[in-house]
Chain A
Amino acid sequence: MPVRELKITPIKNGTVIDHIGNGLAIEVLKIIGIDRLDRDSTVSVAIHVRSNKLGWKDIVKVENIELGPRTVNAIALIAPTATISIIRDYRVREKRTVDLPPRIVGILRCPNANCVSNQPEPLESEFEVAERRPLLLKCAFCERRVDDFLHHLA
């Protein structure tokens, strides 16, 4: 039996986020908001795991939670290689790669402090994809460009 499976046991219900770029698991946990999860949601993290595809990768498993599209979009920003599997009764029911939508709403803060999206207005932050490789986003309000997403998560 591969060593990998001994380290990370299967879960009954929940979400497995695999193929996270090496060292980014902690950021993925921040996006999932583990401090907001209740105790039924056991979270397992593996960092520095051998991967055929990536060389090294991180894995995060969250029990009893199926991630919604907003969380998946945020993960796509910082871990574009990630794959997400929804597990029900130990079986993979759905498997998808993260895919960035053309507009990213409510996930990042605009780095421009003077942008209207950082003012007390009834609106969510919104970014458009300016370039895909390397990924570059543009604020839909002030047009400021952002590429260091980790520092600007809302």
Chain B
Amino acid sequence: MSLHGRDLVSIRDLSRDEVLSVLDSARKMVPLAEGSRSSDALRGRIVAMAFFEPSTRTRLSFESAVQRLGGRCLTIADAGATSMRKGESLYDTIRMLSSYADAIVIRHPNEGAARLAARASERPVINAGDGAGQHPTQTLLDLATIQEAFGTLTGLKIVLLGDLKYGRTVHSLAYALAEFGSEVILTAPPGLRLPEDHREELRRLGARLSEQSDLRKAVREADVLYVTRIQKERFSDEDEYHAVAGSYRVDAALLEDAKPRMIVMHPLPRAGEIAPDVDGTKHAAYFRQSFLAVPVRMALLTAILGAARRGN
């Protein structure tokens, strides 16, 4: 089924074949994302960036993707500067915005905001993160990174390390990996384990799921070590945060026993979970991962908006 004109709110809105098709198209977009080739696939198109929460990578990579394809952006980067400060609802804001743009990319602090936006908008809506909810384009670029490194998404062992309770990226990724038949190994500090309802649902989907509290053992087994940041804002007590945050750290010494092709991923920004000495190792894939955000988002935008009509 074509993605043309469709919303992307949750990674589960895409079938396995649709995910593969976006990844396939993203691979072809890499030279465009690097600027070594040019394209006007989105010429004459306007994409609204409705960011009601701070973001660096996500917004800039979406903007880069649009502009590399010859389109233009309308950007709300500070909700305080909009009429929402005067009490305008998100629904009305999106409804209005959808008459100014061909598609809307939204990030919002409330879970479910993207689903609401999709209802309000007459144009396709792409979720760029709603609170602790979904962040499907992050999942797509995570999958693109794994696929680029291993040529497959099947039969791998993926260790998810860090905040598995609140981290929205790991929830979506775990579902996608289950769908592709890779094994997921959970390594989380006490109190930040994957919530039981997610475990149950993953098992129901046939996921191979296990836990490994010993990080060193987990690293030895891993094809991918996916590290997440512990979000300070989730803790009411600063001491509690520091106790948990200091409980795991990935450094070059820890990776000595890793498989030669093992990659370390992180959605970034990092806050001390990965030591700078990992950056120079062959395992570091997180900067490649943040670059792949651009071709993946280019592929997605092209699929949803369709290529530019001639004569535009």
* Chain A residues within CB distance 8 Å of chain B: 110, 112, 114-117, 119-123, 139-145
User: Are the C-beta atoms of B113 and A116 separated by less than 8 Å?
Assistant: yes
Interchain residue pairs with CB less than 8 A apart (19): A110-B112, A114-B131, A116-B90, A116-B108, A116-B110, A116-B113, A117-B112, A119-B110, A121-B89, A121-B91, A121-B116, A122-B91, A123-B91, A123-B119, A140-B115, A141-B113, A142-B111, A142-B112, A143-B133
Cα–Cα distance between A110 and B113 once the two chains are bound (Å): 13
CB-CB < 8 A to B197: which residues of A? Answer: 145
CB-CB < 8 A to A121: which residues of B? Answer: 89-91, 116
CB distance from A54 to the nearest CB of B (A): 30
Q: Which residue of A lies closest to B90 (CB)?
A: A121
How would you classify the secondary structure of chain A's contact residues: helix, strand, loop or mixed? loop
CB distance from A108 to the nearest CB of B (A): 14
Q: Which residue of B lies closest to A136 (CB)?
A: B197
Cα–Cα distance between A121 and B130 once the two chains are bound (Å): 16
The answer, yes or no, to whether B67 is at the interface (CB within 8 Å) is no
User: Are the C-beta atoms of B132 and A114 separated by less than 8 Å?
Assistant: yes
Q: Which residue of B lies closest to A112 (CB)?
A: B111
How would you classify the secondary structure of chain B's contact residues: helix, strand, loop or mixed? mixed
Top 6 closest A-B pairs, CB basis? A141-B112, A142-B111, A142-B112, A116-B112, A116-B110, A116-B113
CB-CB < 8 A to B134: which residues of A? Answer: 143
Cα–Cα distance between A116 and B111 once the two chains are bound (Å): 6
The answer, yes or no, to whether B10 is at the interface (CB within 8 Å) is yes
Q: Other than A114-B132, A123-B116, A140-B115, give 8 A-B pairs with Cβ distance below 8 A.
A: A114-B131, A116-B113, A120-B89, A141-B113, A142-B115, A143-B111, A143-B133, A145-B197
Q: Which residue of B lies closest to A141 (CB)?
A: B112
Which B116-170 residues sit within 8 Å CB-CB of chain A? 116, 119, 130-134
CB-CB < 8 A to B90: which residues of A? Answer: 116, 119, 121
A142-B133, A144-B111 known; A116 vs B89 contact (CB < 8 Å): no
